[in-house]
Chain A
């Protein structure tokens, strides 16, 4: 008798659950209310299960455990069913909530918008980091320099043809705006004891102005003085530097040249980072870019600065940072580097 009632109850509840699941138009609130109603109806004070449990006392003691077990079984089954329905309900509720909170992620970001470094500073930062890791120390020197350090100590005597290589801004006969960061070489050699490796980034000046020349520009000088330095060291060091600056597939090539302060002197061509040597407008189709001047330090230069050229040898290199920044960022006209137009600078972000 009870058994049938229990079966009936179980069936009713299961049908109810199925009904609710099918009837998806109901709001969460309605469903919750229905679940609550049925809970009251089944488990409430006068609910069917409660009533049945109460009726246990009327059942013979032999039957009681069996009936009790049956009631429990149905009770648990109904309870499980309703709990899982409630859980589904909560999940649905959460999903609806998440859906409602959905935003347009393409709206603009908030907070302080970053500015940007100047392309030349960026190049200086990169180069100094690389060189420091290779054992170079970073130094600076005066931009308004004596003729001695800029020229004479670099084996460019007064009234010598090699002075023609640079159009210099003069303050007077003996003071000028340094035309090359090489001016720092002698200053450093006078105060340092070999072995040493130094680089010097900074502003340089030449009386020259067009789309590839600016009267104010930047160079970086490198100088290594040690006992057994050779052109091979120069080659490998510059290859390392250029690979780290422009990418692992970068190659460099030496060409003979002339600088009064190096002997032998070379120009260094670097494979074009834009076309990787295939030829493009940046490298004028040659696949290579003329980027550095370098060489073995002329022993006369070492001697003039008090370094024993019989014992020590060195290599030096120098290159234009404006041009390097232009290559790294595909900047066409050098003037743009000095206009400081925000529309230009913000492209460095």
Chain B
């Protein structure tokens, strides 16, 4: 919301500088985002008059002007402009000027003749044709003859105001106006609000009242108040400069008297108004009602909107004329031909306006105010103020009376609150006298009665309902700086509570730290991805139902990811594309699947850890080692079986299985997926469910006694078929060793033509131990015989 220093001054005697005011407003919760000095780039620019024009002796396209710049000073300026003439009153920028387009003025010689400044166009002064006649021409701005020569241009053109851009929080709809902010300024400066002129002269020569021009009927509960006045003998012309200056300063385009008055009241009073051409109101009847399904209206933005019962309209006997509170229609608006005008000042339900504005995608200054809430009392002030301005600008005659249909009460509310509770909430002692002072300064009429405050809250402060709200009003004006040097100990009056880490986050943290130690970089990616994720990963849409965003920023971030693989493959691709090599990355994050489509209940969110590697020195078994080391940090009892994950290579991948639950998978990435992501062939990926792992029971370890007798070691190499797995052999050896088993390890796999086709030799180191005695050679030989026999019997193993 933009307001200006001068505009505020009409309501408050401000005796502080704009900076101080801005700082005070900010400290009270009216955050001033920017203070703009309108004349920042207008210094050293004055009104001048060209006395004489002569041709430049050296240049055909230049002329040398003698210019009166006031105070008896005459200067010489060379210009190439063609619209200047002797006697023209023009803006002259002199040495030291620093114009809005970056031009800095210095004395200079142009083809040997001195020029002491420059004439300015409207653009160079930051104004356009809407603001000032002649400002839009391609040439020098020719000013009216009655402008005082020598006057600083910012004064002459009323461009010397200071603009505050204030961020109004949604609870303070009452501050969406100059008046609203002025009320805050009064409270901050300890001043009283000045009375604004709401008087106007009615057309005493006519017997007509407003009802001779229009009749109003309200047929919807969404209209809380509808007021209308009538103006005859309307004169549509350019508004006076002071009014244009105000509107221009707050970013509103000046148009003509009537339109400017409605905008002026909108900004000043926060009351949206609408002006109808009375002759275009069918049957001279205004009906406020909900739209009929399919009703159409061509709006002032030249778009046609099809309405439904959710939308409220201001209609005449036949057609909707205005989308209530949002935008006017082409059929009934003010034109240069308008003779009689009906001026609407209404209050609509904020939800109704908000829904319509959202659904139609139309936001206007009017809807912005209505959807935050306009107080019903405002309609009256707004209409009176507008009629006052009509009267002041002499742009029409005001008919007797106003129409006022109201269905909502508007009274000050009484709240009784506890002084102790306010201090308990704030945690500091605010003197009761200060509470009373602050609340009264805000227009909340307050008395202290015993341990209570009795407060009368004015109607426009609909945000204030209880002690907490009053506590906030008190502290924001009493000053949050009271907390700056607080002498108070941590949780002084609070209970002791137990601080607990979250099990899943704690486990993830262990994994993250372990991975970092082994050279991995942690990634955090957008969980929003492109809709083709399942396709690219060869995942079935049926099992991975996509959660789609209804209002995405763009297609490539329109769905929730169904796998971490997608994020990590994209990150890998990016890293390779910028020349990074030997990439080991991982991410802890969620994947999302809808339970059904369309989504009707909250989707499933799984917490996963994904690992991705592209490094020539890294193979399946390196990945297996990484995964096993992580899983061994948990109490998971798992088996590793061949995986059927579609995005992994079917022969070089495994699932981590616990019971019938697949906890995770890992392996080489499927060549088709490699192609889909444009990656090099040797990419390894692994993932598992961290939430599942974090919910496992706490591991209870059972240490085994270590035998005090020596461990016996034997090596055994056997030749078997390729199809025989290490896992099978290890299990068989272990079982053959029986209770003497201590440990067995594979230490070599050897393949050679001499072993025979599809054969391999596997060498094991077997450790045996007895807890009660030293093993004899015979016992060891016996076990080894049993081991070999079993291997031969089960797997056709031949000792090598």
Interface residues of A (CB under 8 A from B): 112-118, 120-121, 124-125, 128, 131-140, 142-146, 158-162, 164-165, 169-172, 175, 177, 195-197, 201, 203, 205, 207, 209, 215-216, 224, 226-237, 240, 251, 253-258, 260, 263-266, 296, 298-299, 313, 337-343, 345-346
The answer to whether A196 and B497 have CB atoms under 8 Å apart is yes
The answer to whether A197 and B170 have CB atoms under 8 Å apart is no
Given contacts A161-B350, A230-B424, A257-B169, contact A131 B499 (CB under 8 A): yes
The answer to whether A159 and B355 have CB atoms under 8 Å apart is yes
**Residues in chain A near residue B500, CB distance under 8 A:** 132, 137-138
Given contacts A140-B504, A338-B525, contact A256 B480 (CB under 8 A): yes
**Residues in chain B near residue A116, CB distance under 8 A:** 516, 521-522
Interface membership of B39, Cβ < 8 A = no
Question: How many angstroms from the CA of A62 to the CA of B31 in the assembled complex?
Answer: 118
Question: How many angstroms from the CA of A183 to the CA of B477 in the assembled complex?
Answer: 30
Query: A304 CB to closest chain B CB, in angstroms?
Result: 15
List 10 other contacts, CB 8 Å, given A338-B525, A341-B578, A345-B523.
Answer: A114-B516, A135-B496, A135-B497, A162-B171, A175-B601, A177-B560, A216-B526, A237-B490, A257-B31, A258-B169
**Residues in chain A near residue B371, CB distance under 8 A:** 161
The answer to whether A340 and B170 have CB atoms under 8 Å apart is no
The answer to whether B605 and A169 have CB atoms under 8 Å apart is no
When C-beta atoms are compared, the residue in chain A nearest to B476 turns out to be: A256
**Residues in chain B near residue A124, CB distance under 8 A:** 505
- A-B interface, 4 closest residue pairs, ranked by CB to CB distance from nearest: A232-B427, A230-B427, A256-B29, A258-B169
Query: A28 CB to closest chain B CB, in angstroms?
Result: 45
**Residues in chain B near residue A138, CB distance under 8 A:** 500-502, 505
- 14 A-B pairs, CB-CB below 8 angstroms? A118-B524, A120-B524, A124-B505, A137-B498, A215-B557, A226-B495, A229-B494, A233-B491, A253-B484, A254-B480, A255-B29, A337-B524, A342-B583, A345-B523
The answer to whether B501 and A257 have CB atoms under 8 Å apart is no
Interface membership of B760, Cβ < 8 A = no
Interface membership of B709, Cβ < 8 A = no
**Residues in chain A near residue B571, CB distance under 8 A:** 340
A-B contact count (CB 8 A): 267
**Residues in chain A near residue B170, CB distance under 8 A:** 160-162, 164-165, 258, 260
Query: A321 CB to closest chain B CB, in angstroms?
Result: 10
Question: How many angstroms from the CA of A94 to the CA of B515 in the assembled complex?
Answer: 44
Determine which of A115, A195, A235 lies in contact with B522 in the assembled complex, contact meaning CB atoms within 8 Å: A115
The answer to whether A264 and B476 have CB atoms under 8 Å apart is yes
The answer to whether A195 and B469 have CB atoms under 8 Å apart is no
The answer to whether A255 and B498 have CB atoms under 8 Å apart is no
Interface membership of B466, Cβ < 8 A = yes
Query: A139 CB to closest chain B CB, in angstroms?
Result: 6
Interface membership of B493, Cβ < 8 A = yes
**Residues in chain B near residue A142, CB distance under 8 A:** 602, 605
Question: How many angstroms from the CA of A64 to the CA of B611 in the assembled complex?
Answer: 91
Question: How many angstroms from the CA of A133 to the CA of B354 in the assembled complex?
Answer: 45
**Residues in chain A near residue B476, CB distance under 8 A:** 256, 264
Given contacts A342-B580, A345-B521, contact A125 B598 (CB under 8 A): no
Interface membership of B702, Cβ < 8 A = no
Query: A65 CB to closest chain B CB, in angstroms?
Result: 62
Question: How many angstroms from the CA of A128 to the CA of B508 in the assembled complex?
Answer: 13
Query: B438 CB to closest chain A CB, in angstroms?
Result: 13
The answer to whether B549 and A161 have CB atoms under 8 Å apart is no
**Residues in chain B near residue A162, CB distance under 8 A:** 170-171
**Residues in chain A near residue B605, CB distance under 8 A:** 142-144
Determine which of B468, B484, B504, B583 lies in contact with A263 in the assembled complex, contact meaning CB atoms within 8 Å: B468
Query: B413 CB to closest chain A CB, in angstroms?
Result: 17
When C-beta atoms are compared, the residue in chain A nearest to B520 turns out to be: A115
The answer to whether A299 and B466 have CB atoms under 8 Å apart is yes
The answer to whether A265 and B472 have CB atoms under 8 Å apart is yes
Question: How many angstroms from the CA of A234 to the CA of B499 in the assembled complex?
Answer: 17
When C-beta atoms are compared, the residue in chain A nearest to B480 turns out to be: A254
When C-beta atoms are compared, the residue in chain A nearest to B515 turns out to be: A115
The answer to whether B547 and A144 have CB atoms under 8 Å apart is yes
Question: How many angstroms from the CA of A207 to the CA of B599 in the assembled complex?
Answer: 20
Interface membership of B584, Cβ < 8 A = yes
Interface membership of B552, Cβ < 8 A = yes
Query: B593 CB to closest chain A CB, in angstroms?
Result: 10
Interface membership of B519, Cβ < 8 A = yes
Question: How many angstroms from the CA of A280 to the CA of B347 in the assembled complex?
Answer: 48
Interface membership of B574, Cβ < 8 A = yes
Query: B629 CB to closest chain A CB, in angstroms?
Result: 12
